[in-house]
Structure 1
Amino acid sequence: MTTAEAHGRALAAVRPSERQLSWQAMEFYGFVHFGMNTMTDREWGEGHDDPAAFDPAGLDADQWVTALKSAGTTGVILTCKHHDGFCLWPSDVTTHSVASSPWRGGKGDVVAEVADAARRHGLRFGIYLSPWDRTEASYGSGTAYDDFYVAQLTELLTRYGPVFSVWLDGANGEGPNGKVQVYDWDRYYAVVRELQPDAVISVCGPDVRWCGNEAGDTRPDEWSVVPRALQDAERTADRSQKADDGAFARLVRSDDRDLGSRVALAGHEDDLVWYPAEVNTSIRPGWFHHPAEDAAIRSVDELFTVYLRAVGGNSCFLLNVPPARDGRMRDIDVAVLDRLGRRIEDFRARRIEATATVSSGTPGDIATAWPGRGRTPWRPDDTDPLPAVTLAFAGPRPVEAVVLGEDITQGQRIEHVVVRGRRDGRWTTLAEANAVGYQRILTFPPAEVDTVLAEVTEARDTPVVARVAAIGAAS
């Protein structure tokens, strides 16, 4: 075995956990930013707001969940507490919560209503609990605040059923003269692992990596195997939002574009982790609802493009849709979600029936394993010099995309793939890419072909392919 082969096998040996596998298969889920900021028309509240301001008379969690589900989402994450410190559940460790508000006569619990609605409609439920708290007096005191935060985390993880994600961000605008709280991340993680072992811990956590921006931008190639240093929560916090200036939501950094190629991993071979990416953005300029932004909803075309690049770029897509002050999502947001869902369904429905042949071994069910996941992935012979899958159609068809996926239970192995199409006996290159991972959707100008060929030209180890599908052009 050559040094390069040994290196490749070492990279391919890094594997996801069961919770990461379950999370990756969700593909697309919703974020709901709602709370005191909704009432005060702020993005970052300053804390100490009068709980009397929270009184969303028309709050309808079923409307939120059904709207998100119409877009094709599989789960919903709620901002149970944002940076201002106001809790959407009756916490036992603070009075700064819905229990002190007039909403539902002080007997309400937004977290319970959303968790219950999610279960009713078949979506998984997740929580956001801001580590930064601008109301709690113990913030900045060290262990006393950690005790407070762990108490709130425990309440959320024990009262509302299964949780698929605990979303911890690194935003903090205290500034150089503000309070400094050194979070006990390891303690927080241990609480999640004990109380919700199936939940992924996202962003400032060890399971799911922030893509690095809030604009919905995606890397040309997204790798799940990266240096362990990227799991450092303080590194993530350092790159997170520092000021409530509105610019960060559309900021895209030009660095860190390659996190996991062989070149990027050189020197880190002995300290690698499986740390897949999540792409998060909002349907509006802000994360909370602001009446002034009712005419600034992102278009279906733009959101569908983000969806294709995220879900089709070895990432998951987290889309925020904020309810308004009355407790309902605005009709324009709901309409865009519905149209987005129809667009996604139409794309999936255009999968072309094909006969799959392979360069070696047996094809399994890779040609029919999308949407979803097949039970019999294809593994070519270890000696196959150019592993390839051929999809033959009944006749010429206009094709505009090819979906590829690896069986990531065996790691991320493909390092370069070329997709070609044949018409009248002549082959034309349609698309190519480096990273594939869980799923890669390669789009290109419509081409009429009778056969599609996907060739793995470079790999870290023998590739294990879960799906190959051709998508017909829209009529």
Structure 2
Amino acid sequence: MEFYGFIHFGMNTMTDREWGEGHDDPALFDPAGLDADQWVAALKSAGMTGVILTCKHHDGFCLWPSDVTTYSVASSPWRGGGGDVVAEVADAARRHGLRFGIYLSPWDRTESSYGSGTAYDDFYVAQLTELLTRYGPVFSVWLDGANGEGPNGKVQTYDWERYYAVVRELQPDAVISVCGPDVRWCGNEAGDTRPDEWSVVPRALQDAERTADRSQKADDGAFARRLVRSDERDLGSRAALAGHEDDLVWYPAEVNTSIRPGWFHHPAEDTAVRSVDELFTVYLRAVGGNSCFLLNVPPASDGRLRDADVAVLGELGRRVEDFRARRIEATAVTVSSGVAGDVASAWPGVGPGAVLGAGRTPWRPDDTDPVPAVTLTFAGPRPVEAVVVGEDITQGQRIEHLVVRGHRDGGWTTLAEANAVGHQRILTFPSAEVDAVSVEIPGVRDTPVVAHVAAIGATS
């Protein structure tokens, strides 16, 4: 899905907090102008494919009428106590063609059973069941590692395996993210990405308690925007996998950050919306770095996104579309053993103009090919500033080194190099005028299976 949105909204929005302490008066929740269609349309304008809603944050206030607590929208004046934010967002997502996901905080600062063990697990599973059975298909269940004290001063030990089993039973197509076995947190909330992101990693990284230990521990805005760890920059190189070869898992990464300094809306941050240049850079590095990009956009207390956020999302969508539209049509797509080798054949099933993610037949070179390469030839010299490469990840992640070269005046010049590819790698470089681009694959773990290659023209 590559790029989708987070919506942080709830009691914290009304109290101007990031982490509410629980027990706030439900009468405070009354977003008179709530417009889920505005939220979803704004996310779609940015090119997003789904939306994840904070159905309950750490304060415990539920955005749906839960059967197991009165601390919910049912006790608020909003919609006369008959409203359901989860239903409105799920319905809006369907209307606009986006997938719907849920966030349900495991920490609950209002629920009296929190910290009691099985009794709280029963409560949490009941709420999880409500969310997974009332609102249609769910593409993601997003679980963070928040684990503080409840109203009784106790801390809960979460029964993660039980939670996972409920998701598997009720929404088998949903991925369980972050403190879960399916989608891996990139390790920070700043939108930072690793130089090379590997989907094949040691199984130990799936440990939910380990993830929780590295998650945010306090209501601290500095964590969200500035804390980037340097001790885990390499998770999947051969060196990093040494000693774990018999215990590896497929655990792809997700990059998450917010369009503002905070995750919930704060009026004081209305002038601090991140620029389209900054967000497009994160997009290129995440979606173009074998990761998904989860961008949070928080509605204000009146239930609407602010104009500044909506405008930036629209600009971001246009920037992404422009990038894709600058794909250069090739007059020939050939495969060979390196740029100096003999052309073996045309890419089977691919005519002129290799297309970004077009579902063409993947190309698998001969197992004995020492340096597989794909060459795009143009009608004449063209300014190029990026090359996009993707593996057929149904076959695994096999490429561990590739080199992009440009051809001009009878010679080849190296334009960019990278290691991990995976689902998609976008390599950017200073604009170069060339009449052909070659993607060489000198380093592999197994015979590579290439899904797509495209050259992106430079802006004028």
Q: Same fold (TM over 0.5)?
A: yes
Where does structure 1 differ by over 6 angstroms across 4 or more consecutive aligned residues? 360-370
SS in 1 for 2:344: helix
Check whether the contact 1:364–1:377 (CA below 8 A) recurs between aligned residues: no
Q: Using the alignment, how far apart are the partners of 2:440 and 2:148 within structure 1?
A: 49
Deviates more, 1:347-356 or 1:307-316: 347-356
Within 1, Cα distance between the matches of 2:345 and 2:13?
45
Structure 1 102/353 Cα, relative in aligned 2: closer, same or farther at 3 Å? Answer: same
Runs of 5+ consecutive residues of structure 1 not aligned to the other structure: 1-25
The answer as to whether partners of 2:335 and 2:346 remain within 8 angstroms in 1 is no
Change (3 A) 1:384 1:177: farther
Deviation track 1:229-287 (CA, whole Å, cap 9, x = no partner) reads 00000000000000112111021011110000011000001110000000000000000
Residues 89 and 112 in structure 1, CA contact (< 8 A), matched pair in contact too: yes
CA shift, 1:172, in A, is 3.3
Q: Distance in 1 between matches of 2:199 and 2:338?
A: 27
Contact 1:206 1:275 in 2 (8 A): yes
Post-superposition CA distance 1:86-120 (Å, at most 9, x none):
00000000000000000000000000000000000
- In the aligned structure 2, how far is the partner of 1:366 from the partner of 1:264? 36
Change (3 A) 1:92 1:57: same
The 1:184–1:382 alpha-carbon spacing in structure 2 relative to 1, beyond 3 Å, is same
Shift of 1:364: 19
| DSSP-derived class of the 2:423 partner | coil
Q: TM-score, normalised by structure 1?
A: 0.92
Aligned residues: 449
Q: Deviations over 1:444-475 (max 9, x none)?
A: 01000001010001000000000110000011
Q: CA deviation at 1:425?
A: 1.1
Partners of 1:118 and 1:125 within 8 A in 2: yes
Change (3 A) 1:93 1:366: farther
TM-score, normalised to structure 2, is 0.95
Given that 1:27 and 1:311 are in contact with CA atoms closer than 8 Å, whether structure 2 keeps it comes out as yes
Which has the higher mean CA deviation after the structures are superposed, 209-218 or 175-184?
A: 175-184
Inter-CA distance 33–363: structure 2 relative to 1 (3 Å threshold): farther
Partner residue, 1:467:
452
SS at match of 2:136: coil
Q: Secondary structure at the match of 2:86?
A: helix
Q: Tell me if structure 2 keeps the 8 A contact 1:173–1:241.
A: no
Post-superposition shift, 1:366?
16
CA gap of 1:172–1:447, structure 2 versus 1, over 3 A, is same
Supply the distance in 2 between the matched residues of 1:435 and 1:140 (Cα, whole angstroms).
42
Q: Deviations over 1:51-94 (max 9, x none)?
A: 00000000000000000000000000000000000000000000
3-state secondary structure, aligned to 2:272: coil
Does the CA contact (< 8 Å) of 2:339 and 2:440 recur in 1?
no
Contact 1:419–1:432 (8 Å) recurs in 2:
yes
After superposition, the Cα gap between the structure-2 partners of 1:178 and 1:434, relative to the gap in structure 1 and judged at 3 Å, is farther
Q: CA deviation at 1:191?
A: 0.3
Contact 1:369 1:466 in 2 (8 A): no
Structure with the bigger RCO (C-alpha within 8 Å, sep 6+) is 1
Which of 125, 129, 151 aligns to 2:104? It is: 129
Q: Is the 8 A contact 1:81 1:88 kept in 2?
A: yes
Aligned-residue offset at 1:362: 16
**How big is each residue's C-alpha offset from its partner over 1:152-184, in whole Å with a ceiling of 9 and x where there is no partner?**
000000000000000000123449995221100
Between the two proteins, what is the percent identity of the paired residues?
Answer: 91
Query: Equivalent residue of 1:368, what SS?
Result: strand
CA distance in 2, matches of 1:203, 1:287: 17
Task: State the 1:426 CA deviation.
Answer: 1.7
Partners of 2:181 and 2:341 lie apart in 1 by 34
- In structure 2, what is the Cα distance between the partners aligned to 1:138 and 1:394? 69
* Alpha carbons 1:367, 1:469 under 8 Å: kept: no
